[in-house]
C-alpha cells in the first residue's frame, strides 16, 4: 500500500462523521426497536414483520445502493458498522440485513445492467427483501458442484433444481439464483439469474429448525420448470462464477461484522454481570482470576475488530482483500464463540438459562464457522495466498 493511499484512509478505529452517525443510528434502532422483541423472535423462530418494515424505513436495507436508485448512497464500511451494531442486539436481525446489503445489493450494483438496476434496486432499497441462492444438496464447500440447470428456450430460460440453506428464504421476494446453462463446461457454464417469488415454477420449501440465529429464516428453494425472462440474467451468461466469488468475498466481511457484534455484546454483558454479582462479600469482578478472563476477552474482541475493519477499509480502497476477508471471518467467528462461552462461565448457572442473554450469544455464534465459507475453507484460502506471495 502506498504512503499516499495510507494518508487518505482513516485509521482502523477512526470513523468518518457519516460512519459515526450511521453507527449510532443503527445502535439506537437496535436498542429501541429490536431489543424488546429478541426473546420472542428467538422462541417463535421468526422475525417480527414490524421490524422488517422498520429496517426499510430506517434506510438500513439499501445502505450502499446509489441515490439515483433510491438508496442510501453510503459506503461498504457504513454497512459493516450497521451490521455489527444490529448483531450486538440480535444476530438474526444482523444477518437479515447483512445478506441484503453485502450479497444481494452489491451483486446488483456491481454486475447488473442498467435495466436490472432500475427495475430492482429501488425495490430492494425501499420495500423488498432479497436472498442469495448458491448452496445445494450436493454443493456446500465445493460451491460450484451445483446441479441446478438453466435451459435456453429462446425468449426465456427454464430453471430446475433445489437450493439449500437460503437465508431470508421466507421473507425474500427477489432472489439471485446460480444455475448452470452448460454443465459440460463446468464452472464456465454457471450463470446468475434474478428470480422473483411469483415467477411460475418457483417455490419456497422446508424451513430449517436451527440451533442459533433462529429468527432468521433458512429455507430450501425449489425450482420446477421455473420460467425466467432472458433479460433477468445478472451479469454475463457463463460468468456467474465471477459474480458468486467476488460477492461472497465481500459477504465474508459482513459475517465477520456479525460475529464481532456478538462478541462485543457478550463481553459487555459479562463485564456488567461480574460487577453486580457478589460472592464471598465482594463483586466477582474484584477477583483477579475473573479480571484476567475479562482482559483476555477484551483482547480477543479488539483483535477481531481490527481484522474486520481492516478488510473493509482495504475493500473500499480498491486493494486486494481476499486474504484479509478470510482472516477476518475466521478469527471473528472463533472469537464470538470463545467470548460467548466465557461469558456463560462467568454467569455460572444463570448463563445456562434463557432468562439471561449470554446462552443465545453462544448459540448464535456457532454458525460463524460454517456459513459463507467454513473455517477450513478460509484457512485453505489464506494458505494459498501466503504461499503464493
CB 83, CB 30: distance < 8 Å:
no
**Residues 6+ away with beta carbon under 8 Å from 88:** 27, 30, 261, 262, 264, 265, 268
Which sequence positions are flagged as catalytic?
372
145 Cα distance to chain centroid: 23
Q: Give the integer Cα–Cα distance in Å for 67 and 140.
A: 36
Amino acid at each position: 500500500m502506498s504512503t499516499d493511499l495510507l494518508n487518505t484512509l482513516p485509521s482502523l478505529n477512526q470513523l468518518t462523521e457519516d460512519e459515526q452517525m450511521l453507527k449510532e443510528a443503527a445502535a439506537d434502532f437496535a436498542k429501541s426497536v429490536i431489543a424488546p422483541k429478541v426473546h420472542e423472535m428467538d422462541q417463535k423462530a421468526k422475525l417480527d414483520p414490524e421490524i422488517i418494515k422498520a429496517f426499510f424505513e430506517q434506510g438500513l436495507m439499501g445502505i450502499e445502493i446509489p441515490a439515483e436508485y433510491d438508496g442510501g448512497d453510503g459506503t461498504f464500511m457504513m454497512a459493516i458498522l450497521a451490521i455489527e451494531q444490529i448483531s450486538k442486539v440480535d444476530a438474526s436481525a444482523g444477518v437479515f440485513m447483512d445478506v441484503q446489503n453485502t450479497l444481494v445489493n452489491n451483486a446488483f450494483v456491481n454486475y447488473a445492467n442498467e435495466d436490472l438496476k432500475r427495475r430492482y434496486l429501488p425495490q430492494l432499497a425501499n420495500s423488498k427483501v432479497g436472498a442469495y441462492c448458491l448452496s445445494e444438496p450436493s454443493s456446500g464447500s465445493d460451491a460450484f458442484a451445483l446441479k441446478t440447470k438453466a435451459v435456453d428456450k429462446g425468449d426465456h430460460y427454464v430453471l430446475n433444481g433445489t437450493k439449500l440453506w437460503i437465508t431470508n428464504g421466507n421473507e425474500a421476494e427477489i432472489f439471485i439464483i446460480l444455475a448452470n446453462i452448460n454443465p459440460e463446461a463446468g464452472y464456465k457454464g454457471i450463470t446468475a439469474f434474478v428470480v422473483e417469488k411469483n415467477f411460475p415454477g418457483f417455490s419456497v420449501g422446508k424451513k430449517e429448525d436451527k440451533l442459533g440465529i433462529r429468527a432468521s429464516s433458512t429455507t430450501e428453494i425449489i425450482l420446477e420448470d421455473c420460467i425466467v425472462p432472458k433479460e433477468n440474467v445478472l451479469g454475463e451468461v457463463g460468468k456467474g462464477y465471477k459474480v458468486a466469488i467476488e460477492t461472497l468475498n465481500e459477504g465474508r466481511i459482513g459475517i465477520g461484522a456479525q460475529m464481532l457484534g456478538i462478541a462485543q455484546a457478550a463481553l459487555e454483558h459479562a463485564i456488567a454481570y461480574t460487577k453486580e454479582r457478589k460472592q464471598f462479600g465482594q463483586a466477582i469482578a474484584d477477583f483477579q482470576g475473573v479480571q484476567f478472563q475479562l482482559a483476555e476477552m477484551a483482547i480477543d474482541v479488539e483483535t477481531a475488530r481490527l481484522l474486520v475493519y481492516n478488510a473493509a477499509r482495504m475493500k473500499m480502497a480498491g486493494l486486494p482483500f481476499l486474504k484479509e476477508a478470510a482472516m477476518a471471518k475466521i478469527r471473528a467467528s472463533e472469537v464470538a464463540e470463545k467470548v460467548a462461552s466465557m461469558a456463560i462461565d462467568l454467569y455460572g448457572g444463570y448463563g445456562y438459562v434463557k432468562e439471561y442473554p449470554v446462552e443465545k450469544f453462544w448459540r448464535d455464534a456457532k454458525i460463524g464457522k460454517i456459513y459463507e465459507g467454513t473455517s477450513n475453507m478460509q484457512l485453505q484460502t489464506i494458505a494459498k495466498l501466503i504461499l503464493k506471495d
